[in-house]
Amino acid sequence: MCRSSVTTPACRTDTSAREAPARPGRAFAGHTGVGTERSARLACDFSPSRRLQRLLWLLAVQSLLLLAFSRLPWVAVGVASLLVFTIAWLEWQRLDRSVGRLSTAEKRWYWQVKGGARREFRFCGELTLWRWLIVINGRDLEGRRLRLVLSSDATGADDWRRLLVALRFSR
């Protein structure tokens, strides 16, 4: 496996590991409370990703060219072209929902869509970490699925690096 990519499998629904007391020596320096671990805070604002938008339209054009040069009847090409446009439009809408703020506080992860409410979520399923792409699968506290596809061009380089480190060590 390439050193620059990590994929973590499985859905961890067991919360007992999160609620277990901390090991001695892992508490805040100067803090007298027993059982508290350090918790990094992170906040990354994501804007629309031009890289993912270009990739989406490149795939749509490639699909349309494949249909145009196929030996299918023109009626089938027309129906399949409508299907390609519909899927591309739905994926464009999904990319628009990946604009917001990803943050952590007290070992909890939050996603806030631009102009929306902040939703706490837990990781569930695979977490894909590449140098240029992060795919987060999770569920919020109400059980709704959350899938975030984030690209490195949607945020600053320092925020991206901190996010990759936080996600690698969060599970």
Bridge partners for 147 per DSSP: 137
Our CA angle for 57, 60, 62, nearest 5°, is 110
What whole-number distance in Å separates Cα of residue 110 and Cα of residue 42? 10
| Residue spans per domain, the chain | 1-11+41-47+100-171, 50-96
Q: Is 164 helix (H, G, I), strand (E, B) or coil?
A: helix
pLDDT confidence band for 23 (50 / 70 / 90): very low
154: enclosing H helix or E strand:
none
- pLDDT (0 to 100) of residue 115: 84
**64 burial type by CB count under 10 A (0-12 exposed, 13-18 middle, 19+ buried):** middle
pLDDT tens-digit map of 90-108: 999 988 888 899 999 888 9
Stated pTM of the model: 0.68
Q: Assess whether pLDDT exceeds 90 at residue 27.
A: no
12: enclosing H helix or E strand:
none
Scored b (16 or more CB within 10 A) or e, 86-99 reads eebeebeeebeebb
- pLDDT (0 to 100) of residue 87: 96
